Amino acid sequence: MPSPAPLPASACAVIVAGGTGERFGSAAGKQMVRAGGRSVLAHTTAAFDDAITIGHVVVVCSPGRVEEYRQEALSACISGTPLAFVSGGDTRGDSVANGIRAIPDGFNMVAVHDGARPLITAQVIDLAVEALATEEIDGVVVGHPLYDTLKETDGTNVLRTADRTKYWIAQTPQVFSVATLRAAYDRAHEAGWSGTDDASYVEAAGGVVRMLEGPRSNLKVTVAEDIEIVEAILANRERRACT
């Protein structure tokens, strides 16, 4: 990927790390599971700390675990990017809303990221922020085209095979102007509606959202076997860095 244009400290990140990890099967939550010598949360926070476009990070975490998450995230921030911590809500949408309310004045863009995506890189973050800053659009979603065949079913039986050329896998970060995302969330709250990702709120408000192709390795840790994949990718990155 090409290097982004310099946009130093132009965006605030909101890292959503308040999930309970029920599908993962860990009482401590998947954010605290270790891979490659660090917790999932530490890997995620470190990438945003390294990104030149990020000037502040808000970590949204489980109520009652703020101090625990604070210590884990701070251990990963070598560059000294300021961190703030807020409690999450009952749903992901509530948690993001809490996070964007905590964005300090002076930041016009926000990059929302799943705390359980520890393989994100600073380069991809910077490219996503640059894309929003330089194009006349309302949002940028990192993701990649769908390569597998997509089947629609009634639960078991296949109803049809979709045209996969029209579909992308949406990941994070997802980048918006702060004002746009706040207004989209306010509108959805008033309507009693919730989306499955941040872009869906902006789309519902009529915004133009563009996909930015990122690496397929930017996976979301959901079940226990995902950690084996994360560790393998981290080990490969370390080997390449040493050659």
CATH number for position 75: 3.90.550.10
Number of domains in the chain: 1
In-domain check, residue 220? yes
Instruction: Give the domain range for residue 231.
Output: 11-142+170-241
Q: Which two tokens stand for residue 203?
A: 């789309």
Give a yes or no: residue 228 inside a domain: yes
Q: What is the pLDDT of residue 4?
A: 47
Please list the rounded mean pLDDT of every run of 10 residues in the chain (243 residues). Answer: 62 87 60 91 96 97 89 88 94 95 96 97 97 96 97 97 96 98 96 96 98 97 93 93 84
**152: in domain:** no
In a domain, 214, yes or no: yes
DSSP, collapsed to helix, strand or coil, labels residue 14 as strand
- What is the rounded CA–CA span in Å between residue 147 and residue 168? 9
In angstroms, the Cα distances linking 243 to 36, 169, 236, 238 are 18, 32, 11, 9
Tell whether 157 is covered by a domain: no
Report whether the peptide linkage leading into residue 82 is cis, meaning its omega lies within 30 degrees of zero. Answer: no
Residue 3 is predicted with a pLDDT of: 47
The answer to whether residues 26 and 111 touch, using CB atoms and an 8 Å cutoff, is no
- Any domain includes 3: no
Tally of CB atoms within 10 A around 42: 21
Residue 54 confidence (pLDDT): 97
Domain-embedded: residue 2: no
CA distances for 165 relative to 55, 139, 150, 174, angstroms: 36, 21, 10, 22
Asked if residue 17 belongs to a domain, the reply is yes
Q: Determine the pLDDT at residue 180.
A: 98
